[in-house]
Each structure stands twice: as C-alpha cells, then as structure tokens.
Chain A
Amino acid sequence: MMQSANIENIVIVGGGTAGWMVAAAMANRLPKRLCNITLIESDAIGTVGVGESTIPHIRQFNQTLGIDEATFLKETHATVKLGIQFNDWGAIGESYFHPFGEHGQITQGIDFHQYWLKARALGENHPIEDYSIAATAALARKFPLSTQDKQTKFADYTYSYHIDATAYARFLRQYSQTRGVSRVEGKVASVKQHNNQFIQSVTLESGEEIAGDLFIDCTGFRALLIEKVLDVPFIDWSHWLPTDTAVAVQCDLDRTNTTKPYTQATARASGWQWQIPLQHRIGNGHVFTSAYTKQQDAMDVLMNSLPGKAIAEPKVLRFKAGRRQESWQKNCVAIGLSSGFLEPLESTSIYLIQQGISKLLELFPDKQCNQTVINEYNQCLGQSYELIRNFIILHYHATKRHDSDFWLYCQNMSIPEELERLISLFSESGRADLGQFGVWPAVCIGQNIMPKYYDTRLDNMTEATLKQFMAGHRRNIQDMVASFPNATDYINEQLAKGLV
C-alpha cells in the first residue's frame, strides 16, 4: 500500500456561515491528533449577513454536533419552520404551501395525491394543504409538541428553523474555538502555490503567512482561492434563473402576535419577496432581476410592504445563478457561496453547505488529494446542485402570470431537458420521479400543473367511499392540529427549558 502523508494543517478561508459550519463539523469529526484547523476571516470584509431560512437537514447537522434544540434556539434567536407559503406564483391571487412532509399517506400502494386528484375530478374543492399536517399546523400558527419527526397514520411531517445568520456563525465560532480551531483575523492578500499548483500558503495583509495541506475556500462570492487562484470556471445558469439582485432589510416584529412558523415567498413583477420571522425581528428581502426592474423600484416595493418598522439600512446584494465547474480542485475545496449560488427560494444554500461538508468528511483526503476521490466529490455535489436548480426553475416556469416581461420570459424560456421530462411525467399522470428534492406534488399542484389523469385504480373506489376517506383525513388532521400549542408558546417553552 502506498499511503501518502496525512493532511496536517487545514486552512479555512472565510468565516461566514459556510466557514464556521465547516470548522465546527471538522472539529467535531476529525480526531484532534490528526490535524490543526485554522480559520481566517476578515472583519473588514464581513459576511453576506443573509441566509436565514433552512430546511430540516439542519437538525441532523445539529444532532451530529451534539447541539441541543434549546441552546440552538436561544443562541441563534431561531423560530421554527414547517414549510414555505408561496403567494402569487401560479397566478396573482393564488397561494399554496410547500410543507415539510408529504400530504396524506400512501394508501393501498397508491400515492395520496392521486386520491386528491380523483376527489377533485368529482367536484371536491378542498385544497391539498388540508391533507398536510405541516401545512395545516403552519397556517394555524401551531406547532407539534413532539420534536421528533412524526409518521402518523394521516401524514408525515418534519420541520426546520429560521435563524439569525450572524448569530449562527458566532455560535459555531464559539463551538469550534472551544474544540481547538484557531481563528485568525485578517485579510488574505496573496497566495503561494507549489509547482503542481497545489496551494502552499496564504499571506495576510499583515504579512503573516499561513501554510496548509488542505484549503477550504469559504470566501463567499469572492471565491478567492477556487476562482482567483485556481481559475476554476463558473457554469452560468442565469438564463434559467435570471434574478441577480436582492435588497434585504430587517424590520420590527409585533411581539403580541404569534410567530408564523413558515417562510413567506411572495412573487413580484420581476422576482419575489421573502419574509422570515425570528424571535426578535423579521428578515425581509426582495429578489429581482435587474434587467427588468430598477433597483430603486425594487427597493420601494420592499419598503412599502414591510410587516413592521425597518430597523436597519437596506442592503443590496448581487449574484449570479450557477455553480463552480469543480468545487474541489487540487488541494482546495470550495464550500458555500464560492462553490455556487442558487437563489434562496427554497432555502437550500445552507443545505448545500452541509452536503459539501459531509461528502468532504466521507472522502477525506491525504496530502496527495487523489483525483478519483476529487471526481467523486465533484460529481455528487454537481448532482445536488442540479436537482435543486431544476426544482427552483419549476417555480418560475410553471406560471400563468403575464403581468410583466419577466414572467413572460420565464414561461417561455427553454428549460433543462430533465426538468421538461419531470414536468411532463407529472402533468400526464401525477407521477413523480424518485430521489427528487422537495415535495413535487405540492409545488406542481400549487403552480397549476394539474395531471391530466389520476391513477385509474381509484375508479374501483366508489364516490361515497372516497369522499368519506378524504373527509376522515381532513378531520383527523384538524383534530390533531387543534391539540398543538401555538408556535410562539412552543419556542418559549424550549427557551425556558434551556435556562434550567
């Protein structure tokens, strides 16, 4: 066996959400004797300061790190999230909910939404949300008491959080530092490479040189190492996802009201607007396409529809959809915004950071960084990006809005072949592919992709039996949700536990 030397020094450049998540996970997973972990961050540059809505996988991350929920809620000012409410997407005036967890249960081997489609063909008009525990609870601002993911007889549900991004990074920083990660403040000014182009060291403005065997590029959109040094190209997806700017602002929260345990995503003339409630404030942002809307107009839309008084100056962020052709090259792995950007519509960025981290730990290299291992990593990450990309494009493409050039463009643009296939599969017979990201029936039906046919096996069920079955489902879910506490009470209870 030709074992090559071990990685002894890991250098993480960047201390945003990505950098500190990497540091925390590595400090937790890699034995201390193996290597030193150093994180460099620049206070002068700062972080993007957004990224507050998450999906349930973050709970797994917390669990692996041994972070309990009460501490997490307290440290990150987090609230709970059961899904996303999409307003005005399929058409102006329409609203649907993308819940964490499927609607109903597979019954007699047949997907539940097939029953719903048949009931609808028979003239029933209960929205499909009525069959989702997560959606029903969310819209009633309730939250299930048990924090375990539940498989009930009626439907599954799970949940995630809304977090304060800055607090989250600070929290993970503390976690990492107590577990041996060294933090260096400073701005990387230059980079040295070996003859084989492997990165040798980074030099800070102060003149300090930090050498390493493995470099993690977490420098955000700057992509300092992967792009500026290693020159790895960016695959541009902006023809499918044309939004390129966001204005973001935080506002006050009316504490007398119960928190909404969900993210709101409201479509606008050339983009959409988010609302993410935390314990102490609400995060707001308007994502738009600069080719179709002037920045000032976008800002006005945002500022005129805030649910409370603005408590900070609005920030402007520019971006481009796409991904790094290779997230990992030589001895440098890009994680976070440096490895790609998919806009926040389905709150997937932090999840992609997690994917990058777990793959990297699974395939942890030696000094040589074997190319086959690198290829495996890049292929897996590439797949994750594409799955999510297609899912987000679906939201823009499947719309009947024709109130602006932007929506007309989205409706008429050509879409990736794979997405084309998935849409025709669903619109023909309500079938979804396996291994997809998100709850496809929720979004497809929500955006008016109505299957032409339901599963004909249901024609053997009488109308009366079906209606009874559906009514029973609705009633059970309503009863269950009625017994849940409201979301704010749940959070307060957890926080109180943390104090004991």
Chain B
Amino acid sequence: MTKSNSINVGSASKQNLPIKNIVIVGADVIGWSAAVALARGLGGQNVNITILDTKSDHAAPNKSLHASEHIFDFHRLLGIQDKNLLMHGHMKLNLGAKFHAFNRENQAAGDFVLGCDRAMPSFCSIELHQVLAWLGLNDPEKYSISCAAINSNLLAIPTKQTGTMSASFSPSVNLDGDAYLQFMQGAAKHLAIKIVQADIKDLEQDPENGFVTQITLSSGQILDVDLLLDNSQLNPALQVLSCQRDYINCGEYLPFDSVLSGFEPTQTAASPFQQFYGVEGGWIEITTHSNLRNITLHYSSQLFQDEAAKQVILSHIPNVQGVSLTRKIARYLTKPLDKNCLTIGQAAGYLGTSPISSLVLMQRTLSKLLELFPSKLCLPQNTAELNKRILKDYQEALHYTALMIPFSEQVQENAEMQRYSWHLSIDQLPPELKHKVELFQSSGRIGSELNPLISRDAWLNLLKHKVKNRHAYEPVLHALDKHKAAQFIEQLGLQIEQSISRYRPYS
C-alpha cells in the first residue's frame, strides 16, 4: 500500500523524502555540465545544487574535448542552441578520423578513413556495403560522403535535402575546452547553481547506512548533502571521498596506461577530422582547431619508456608545447551509484579519450539518473537498475574502442604480420565483441543492438574497415540485376563527387 513514503530501517523509521541538497565535488567541465544538466532536469523541483572545489574552475587552456554525436541530445536537454556554439567557434564539427599505420598490411596505401555516415543508401533494400562486396568494390570510402569529404579535407554539413541517394551523416564535435567550460558556467549562473571554494575537512556519514550527510569545510562551513556527485579525482584536496571502490579492469584490452599530451599553436584552418597514428607502444591522436593543434599519445608503460614516448610526440610535432604526462588505467566502476554518492567523470570510468569521451559518458549517466531519480533513501533496487544501465554504456564503449584501436585481423592469420604487441586477435576480444566480429565476417551482418550509445550504423562503419576478411555477402543479391547494381553504384559515386564539389574547407 502506498500509504505514505516511509520505511522502517532497523529501529528508526526513515522517511522517504525528496532529495533537496545536491553537492557536486569537482569544478571542471564535467562538474559544471553535470550541475547544469541537473538544474535543468530537475526544473520545478525544490533543490539546491552546489559545486564544491578548492578553485572555481579547472580551466584547461589549449585543450580540445572530443564528443560523439550524443552531445546534441544533451544540449537539447539543456536548452542549448548548438548554432551559438558553432557560430562562436567553440564547437567544431568533426566528420571522423583518419587512421595511419594501424596495420602492417596497409602500411603503404591502406590507411583508412572512418566516416560518420548514417542511414546509408541501399539498393533494392540491400545494404550498400553488401552490394559493394558483391560487386567486388573494395573501396567503401569512395561511396561514403563523410569519408570523401575527409579525404579532400572539406567540411560537409548535413542537410535535409531529399531526393539524393548519398547518405546522411552525423558528425561528432571538437569543443574548445575553456570556452565550453565558460559557457557552462554562464548557464549555471542563470540556474542559481552555487559554487563553494574550500577544502573538505570532514565528512559526516550516517552510522546506519554510511550515506554522506554533511560535508565540513576547512572554513568551518557545513554543507548538507542528500546526493553527492563525486567528480573529485580532479583534486587531491577532496579525495577523502574515494573510499574503496570496485572497478572492472580493462587493461587486458586497452593496455595504454599513460597519456602524454601537448599542443602547438597553428595558423592553419581547422580540419574536420581527427588523425590517429599507430606506433610501437600505443597510438597517437591529433586534433586540429583553427589556431591550435592538440596531440595525445596513449601508450603502455610496459612498451614505452616515458622518454621514448616524448620522442615520438616530437617526431610528429617538433614544436610541441606544454607536454604533460598522466597515468590512467582503462577501467570502469561496478557501482557508479553507491549509497548516496554517484561517481562521475574519469573516476567513474576511463576508456581512452576517443571516441566516446568522458563528457558524453557523464551526460548519458545523468540522463539515466534523471530517469531513475532517487529519493533520499536511494532505494537499493532502483540503484541497482541505474547502475545496470550505466554499466551497459561503459561496456559498449569498451567494445567499440577495443574494435577501433587494438583489434587487428592480421594477428590470428599470421603472427609475422602482427605489427604491434598491443594488437588483439579475434580470440582475445571480449566474447560479445568477438561474436559481433564473427557475424560480420561470416556474412556482413550486424547483430541487433540494444544500446543506443553506438548506433547500428556506427558499428557498421567501423566493422567494414576493421573486418576485411569477409566470407560472404547478402545471398539475396544473386537474384538481382548486377548491371543495374553497378549503375546504381556509379551514380552514387557521381553524386558524392558532385556534393563534395559544393563543400568548403573549414575556415
């Protein structure tokens, strides 16, 4: 009976009351965006949202943030106009990535381009990649508008144009880290989000259930807490919070425990894609903004000395500045929400910076939190359901990254072809991912997806580049007119060329 919202816990009776005081620890871009998302998502609720840190922000000058297309959904929730961000140059569209030297086989020619096509055209309702395989056309990039744009270093902008065969596509973005932070801070101001600058002196915990109830600051001030968002890996002064936490370690798949990053001011135009280079100890990611180029080397400390890593960076960008090293283990928390504390940001999980950024994972975590918003009691079943949904994202992100970076088809076929010791063979992949690859190998099929973090098209895009060794194509094709199919493909190629001629470089 839903008589009243009260429960008996032990001897004391606890009321199941709404959450009133939310404290977010850690004022970087993740913390501020989380605050804005909560304030928006809880509009009309009687909540106080406070950000706590020793400083009011963690500006990260000369750093760009990559975020997948989900950022647009998040902005919609927040009522943010993407146009504004784009106009001011705080956000740049990104059509995909160019991969260099990831496979030995492809050393000379075959670097590949990963586009962002969605809803690819089909021939007699058979998917394009199947038709290409049938016709023996091994150059899928030619028939992908985003790949074609990347190859000509042009920015393609999605239009709602109808009547064209060429596919639609869904760009990700590169954000100017500082500008985005300021933008969120601006939004926070209008939403009455408080910022408190202080060290944490002490935490008060409920002796019965271990919930954090109060935070005492070095200034003596006391903050009441109903729900705590812990983004504190950022600041050692706040780390009293990170008690014992269980992580799922992903080092087996992503052994890159060191991140060396730097930047170079440039005069060149922004490029609408990222560049990835495979190297001995790991891989390099380069993002070019209008006035800035960011470089990051993700490597395994087992495979590279830090000094050697620095040399690798220098060999790519001789004038690199502000080089800094961090150590991060690829892993994610088993219980993101534990008691009344939700961990967000990199302490919740880290799976490399691209393609699924911490920003996007945090955003999706918050949407799920709002769907299953807890009460003061943080009821256990609700918490378990929330954690289950969040973990699904991390697992999916791990699979996608493992396929994108370390997976190499060559490894199993011929050990000599193996280029890097961090390459993974199909048998070394997590079982669900292995099945996905095998299914694609067997017939070019993609399994049914349940998690919208990575769309079916995004999987298809990646699989068709990483899995070349296909055994078969769609058998129904045999009944179709090969000549017509070839004409269709030729038309498509022409249309894409025409579209490309309308695109401009990023300026």
Contacts and interface: CB of A to CB of B under 8 A. Distances in A.
B385 A32 contact: no
Given A109-B41, A434-B389, A457-B18, A428 B475 contact: no
A294 interface: no
User: Max chain B CB contacts within 10 Å: which of A363, A366, A429, A452?
Assistant: A429
B2 A454 contact: yes
A365 B475 contact: yes
User: Max chain B CB contacts within 10 Å: which of A4, A121, A372, A424?
Assistant: A372
Contact of B381 (A33, A117, A429): A429
Given A121-B3, A456-B376, A425 B473 contact: no
A342 B281 CA distance: 54
Contacts of A117: 2
A375 interface: yes
Nearest to B450: A435
Interface in A437-475: 450-457, 459-460
Contacts of A429: 375, 379, 381-382
Contact of A457 (B42, B124, B473, B478): B42
Contacts of B12: none
A109 B443 CA distance: 41
Contact of A451 (B2, B373, B472): B2
Interface of B is mostly: loop
A376 B2 contact: no
Contact of A1 (B3, B371, B470): B470
B474 interface: yes
A380 B381 contact: no
Interface in B332-374: 370-373
A366 B473 CA distance: 9
B476 A34 contact: yes
A6 B448 CA distance: 24
Contact of B445 (A373, A434, A457): A373
Interface in B364-403: 370-373, 375-377, 379-382, 384-385, 389
Contact of B479 (A30, A109, A373, A431): A30
A118 to B, nearest CB: 8
Given A31-B479, A31-B480, A431-B385, A121 B442 contact: no
A120 interface: yes
Contacts of B1: 450
Contacts of A435: 450
B438 A372 contact: yes
Interface string B291-307: 00000000000000000
A82 B480 CA distance: 41
A362 interface: yes
A108 B19 CA distance: 16
A347 B470 CA distance: 40
Contact of A108 (B44, B46, B478): B44
A376 B435 contact: yes
A456 B472 contact: no
Nearest to B2: A121
A252 to B, nearest CB: 44
A2 interface: yes
Contacts of B320: none
Interface string A27-47: 000111111000000000000
A366 B389 CA distance: 37
Interface string A14-56: 0000000000000000111111000000000000000000000
Contact of A376 (B17, B447, B450, B480): B447
A364 interface: yes
Nearest to B5: A453
Contacts of A380: 447-448
A456 B375 contact: yes
Contacts of B382: 425, 428-429, 431
Contact of B385 (A362, A433, A459): A433
A433 B381 CA distance: 11
B381 A425 contact: yes
B190 interface: no
B445 A362 contact: yes
A3 interface: yes
Nearest to A368: B472
A452 B2 contact: yes
A332 B445 CA distance: 20
A370 interface: yes
Nearest to A8: B478
Contact of B472 (A33, A370, A450, A459): A370
Given A31-B480, A362-B445, A460 B46 contact: yes
Given A4-B472, A364-B475, A453-B5, A375 B16 contact: no
B17 A456 contact: yes
Interface string A103-118: 0000011000000011
A24 to B, nearest CB: 17
Given A109-B41, A370-B443, A380-B448, A456 B474 contact: no
Nearest to A423: B381
A7 B477 CA distance: 12
Interface of B: 1-5, 7, 16-19, 41-46, 124, 133, 136, 370-373, 375-377, 379-382, 384-385, 389, 435, 438-439, 441-443, 445, 447-448, 450, 470-476, 478-480
30 contacts: A1-B133, A2-B472, A3-B471, A3-B475, A7-B475, A31-B479, A31-B480, A108-B43, A120-B2, A121-B3, A121-B4, A364-B474, A364-B476, A365-B443, A366-B472, A370-B442, A370-B472, A421-B384, A428-B379, A428-B380, A428-B382, A433-B385, A451-B2, A456-B5, A456-B17, A456-B19, A456-B375, A457-B18, A457-B42, A459-B18
Interface of A: 1-4, 6-7, 30-35, 108-109, 117-118, 120-121, 362-366, 370, 372-373, 375-376, 380, 421, 424-425, 428-429, 431, 433-435, 450-457, 459-460
Closest 9 CB pairs of A and B: A34-B479, A31-B479, A456-B375, A456-B18, A33-B479, A428-B381, A370-B442, A372-B442, A366-B475
